[in-house]
Structure 1
Amino acid sequence: PDITNGTSVFVTLTLARSEDDLKAVPGVSVRHENILFEAGEGIGHATKPGLSLSVGEPAINPGPRQLVHNSLLEAFGSPRPCRVRIDIPAGRELAKKTLNPVLGIEGGISIIGTTGVLRPMSEEAFKESLVPQIKVARAAGFDTQIFVPGKIGERIAASWGLPEAGMVQTSNFIGYMLEAAAEIGLKRILLFGHIGKLAKVAAGVFHTHNRVGDARLEVLAAYSGAMGMPGEGIERILGAVTTEEALPVIGEYGLEKVYEVIAARASYRAERLIFNKVQVGTVLVTLQGELLGMDDRAREIGGDFGWNIK
C-alpha cells in the first residue's frame, strides 16, 4: 500500500540570485538544468550504485526533477534559475516501511514518480518497485543472487551466512522477478525460502499469493505418493491446513527425500520459465529455519558463498 497517503509534503521555491546559489552539495542537493533540488527533512540520499541516482545524490529521482522543471517552465514562460527544497517531516520513519534500506537509500524516503499523476497502488507498480534490488545487488558485484520471498527467508538465509547484500525479496512475484533477472543478465539464482512458498513453484505457480495459486499441499501429496506413501498418508496431507502441519506426516513414513525432489522440480520449473537463461537452485526450509531439502545447484551456489548450513 501507498504509505505516503495523507502525508504532508512541503516544497519551497527560491529564485536564484547568482550562479553560486545553484552549487550542489553532495548528499544534500543536485542540479537539474537550471534548478538546484535540495533534500530537506525526511528525504534520503543514495549510498549504493545501481539506481537511477548517483551515489551521494539526494533521493529525488530524475522523473520528478523533470516534472518540476516542466512545471516551472510553464509557469514562468522561460527558464528561471531557482532552488527547490522538498521536506517530508515523517519521511525518516516512513522509509523504515519501504525497501529503501535494502536499496541503499539512507536518511529518509525517496521522491519517485514518472507522470505526476497519482494512481491507486497497483500490483504492477509494486512489482516494478522490487526490481531495483536486483540492479543494486548486481552493481555490488553479485551476478549470483539469493531470491527470498520475504523476511522469513531473508532472516534464515542470513543466519546461514549468506550475504545480505546479494539477497533480493521477491514477495509473491517470483516469476516476474525471475524474468527481470534474466533480462538484467544474472548468471545464477538461489531460490531460498519456506516450503509453503517454493512448493508452489514446483507446480509451475509463479505468483504465490494464496488467492491466486495455492498448490502447496497438492505438491507434497503428489510427490509423496510418487515415492510410495499410501493413500491414508496422502489424505492426511491433503487434509492439513498448512504445510507445517503436513511435514510430520512425511516424517512418519520416512520420505524426507521428497524435499530434494521438490526442490529440484522448483529449479527446473524456474529455469524453464526463463528459457534456461539463468541457472537456478532451490533450498526449502521450515519456519524455524530447519533445512528440509535442496538440489545439487543449490549446494553448488551455497558452497560458493561459503554458507554455514544449519
Structure 2
Amino acid sequence: MNPSQPRSGYTLPVFACAAAIAALKHLFKNNQSLNTVNLDLIEPKQTVEIPIEQVAKIKPNTALAITRSDPGDNLDLTRNTPIWAMVELIENAVKITDKTNIIPKQNEQITLIGGEGIGYDKNSGNPAIYRYAKQLFQENLERLLKPTDRIQITIILPEGRQLAKRTSNEAFGVVEGLSLLGTTGISQPLTAPGQLEAYCEELQQKATQYKSLVFCVGENGLDLAQKLGVPPEQTVKTANWLGPMLAAAGLAGIESILLFGYHGKLIKLAGGIFHTHHHLADGRLEILTAHCANLGLSSENLQTIFHAETAEAALNHLRTLDGSSETQNSHWVKQVYGSIASKIDQRSQAYIWDHSQRRVTVGSVLFDRKRKIVIKSAAGDTLLAKICYSSHNNQLL
C-alpha cells in the first residue's frame, strides 16, 4: 500500500473470531502459546494473520484468548479495545450409536454466546451478533473440530457497555453494549465511497494552517459563507458526517469551529443526532416543538409546529406569529432558534470532548431555504466576525 494512502484494518467480528480460534487451539495443543492465528475472512476471500495478545487455560476444558481491535485509519471508537473469547470444550456432547461418526443435524457443534459488553436487540432479546459474524465463527471453527466435538464460545467486550454510550446503537434497537456487525472482514477507511475520508483529509491539511475552521454541511453553506466574507480555504465541507468531522477536528488540534448550515440539518445536533442523514435519524420537528414548549408557546401553536410538513414550514409559522397583530413583538423565531443554536453549540462541544478529550469552542449559524440567516449563536456571531476580520487583515486564525 502506498504510504500516503489510508491503512485499512479489520472489523470487530474478525478479532472476536481470531480470539476464539486461539483459545480453541490452546485447548487442543496442550497449552501451546500463540502470537498469531490465521483466519479466513470469507468476505473477501482471503486468509489473514491476526495478532493474539494473550491466551490461557482457565479450566481443564476452557481457555480464554484476547485480541485488540485494529480498524485501520478509520474514525472508529473501538480502536485498541480488548476482545475476549472464552471457549469451552464440551466433552461427550454426542453419543455415537453407530460408525457414521456424524453429529445429528439437530445438534449444533458451535454455540455462540454474547457475554458482557455485547449488546442485545431490545425487540427480539437476541445478542447483537449478526449474520457475517456467525458465518465467520462457523466456518473457521468447524475446520478445527472433529465431528464429535462441541464447543461453547462466549464473546466478551470489557469496554463494550461504556463504548456503546458513545454510539448510535440504541437508535437501531441495540442496547447495553456493542454489536458484532458487518458484511465484510475488511474495515476500509472509505465511508460512502470515500466521502468521509476525503473530508477528513481536507480537514487535517487545513488544521496545519488554521486554528479555526468553518464547517459547511452542503454547497449552499459554502456559497453563503463565502459571500459573507469567509475565505474558502478556511471552510470544510462535512455533508452529513458532522459527528466524525467534529471528532476529527478535536483530534487535529482545532481550537474553534463555526457550524454553518441549513437549520433543518443543524437542528438535529440540538437533539444529540450527529449523523444528519434523514435515513438514519430525524427528530427535527420534535426538537423544535420541545424548544417552543420550553419557551411557553401555546398548545395550539405547538400542535401546528409538531405536525408541520417540514422544518421550513414550522419556521415560517413562527415568523407568521411574529408578524401577527395579536402576537407582534413576540420574537418567537429569535427566542426559539436562539435556544436551539445555543444547544447545538453545547452538544457539539460535549461531543468533541467525549470523542477526543479536547475542548473546542463551537458556534453556529443557521440559514433557511432562501439562504437567509435565521440565527447566529453568541459564539457563532463572535467566530464569524473574527474569521472575516482576520481574513480581511491577512491574519492567521
TM-score (norm 2): 0.46
Report if aligned partners of 1:195, 1:284 keep a CA contact under 8 Å in 2: yes
The two structures, once aligned, show a CA RMSD in angstroms of 2.5
The offset of 1:122, in angstroms, is 4.1
| Kept after mapping to 2: 8 A contact 1:192/1:282 | yes
Of the three residues 212, 216, 220, the one matched with 1:144 is 212
Name the counterpart of 2:107.
Answer: none
Q: Residue 341 of structure 2 corresponds to which residue in structure 1?
A: 263
Whole-Å Cα distance in 2 between the matches of residues 120 and 241 of structure 1?
Answer: 37
Q: Pick the aligned partner of 2:381 from 284, 291, 299.
A: 299
| 1:136 Cα deviation from its structure 2 partner | 2.2
Q: Distance in 1 between matches of 2:219 and 2:194?
A: 20
Shift of 1:121: 6.6
Secondary structure of the residue that 1:131 maps to in structure 2?
A: helix
> Distance between the aligned counterparts of 1:160 and 1:182, measured in 2?
25
Kindly indicate whether residue 364 of structure 2 is the aligned counterpart of residue 282 of structure 1.
Answer: yes
- SS at structure 2 position matched to 1:256: helix
Instruction: Provide Cα deviations, 1:8-51, integer angstroms capped at 9, x if missing partner.
Output: xxxxxxxxxxxxxxxxxxxxxxxxxxxxxxxxxxxxxxxxxxxx
Gaps of 5+ in 1: 1-59, 65-116
* Structure-to-structure mapping, 1:40-119, within 5 angstroms: 62=3
Query: Kindly tell me: are residues 132 and 208 of structure 1, through their superposed partners in 2, closer, same or farther at Cα, counting changes over 3 Å?
Result: same
Distance in 2 (CA, whole Å) between partners of 1:253 and 1:215 is 23
Correspondence for 2:238 among 170, 181, 188 = 170
CA distance, structure 2, for counterparts of residue 293 and residue 188 of structure 1: 19
The residue identity in structure 1 corresponding to 2:202 is: Q
Matched residue SS, 2:206: helix
Q: In the superposition, relative to structure 1, how do residues 225 and 273 fare at CA in structure 2: closer, same or farther (>3 Å)?
A: same
Return the offset for 1:252: 2.6
The Cα shift of 1:148 comes to: 0.8
1:257-283 deviation digits (Å, cap 9, x = unpaired): 211111110010000011252110011
Report which stretch shifted further, 176-185 or 273-282: 273-282
Q: Which residue of 1 aligns with 2:127?
A: none
Aligned residue type for 1:267: D
Corresponding residue of 1:134: 203
AA at the equivalent of 2:387: F
Matched residue, 1:198:
266
Post-superposition offset of 1:253: 2.7
Partner of 1:223: 291
Is the contact made by 1:286 and 1:292 (CA closer than 8 Å) also made in structure 2? yes
Q: Please tell me the residue identity of whatever aligns with 2:291.
A: Y
2: CA distance, partners of 1:62 / 1:271: 33
| 1:225, distance to aligned residue in structure 2 (A) | 1.6
Aligned to 1:234: 302
Task: Name the amino acid aligned to 2:283.
Answer: A
Of 179, 183, 189, the residue aligned with 2:257 is 189
What letter matches 1:203 in structure 2?
Answer: G
**Structure 1 residue 154: Cα displacement:** 0.9
Q: Match for 2:388: what amino acid?
A: G
Partner letter of residue 261 of structure 2?
Answer: G
Is the 2:273–2:281 Cα contact (8 Å) retained in structure 1? yes
- Length-normalised TM-score, structure 1: 0.59
Identity %: 31
1:189, CA displacement in angstroms? Answer: 0.1
Q: d(CA) in 2 for partners of 1:120 and 1:185?
A: 21
Cα separation, 1, equivalents of 2:293 and 2:221: 28
1:129: how far off?
2.3
Aligned to 1:214, what secondary structure does the other structure show? Answer: coil
What is the Cα deviation at residue 210 of structure 1?
A: 0.4
* Aligned partners of 1:152 and 1:287 also within 8 Å: no
| Partner deviation per Cα, 1:224-266 (whole Å, 9 max, x = no partner) | 1211211221111222221111111112333012111111100
- Secondary structure at the residue paired with 1:229? coil
Aligned length: 196
Question: Where do 5+ consecutive residues of structure 2 fail to align?
Answer: 6-185, 323-331, 390-397
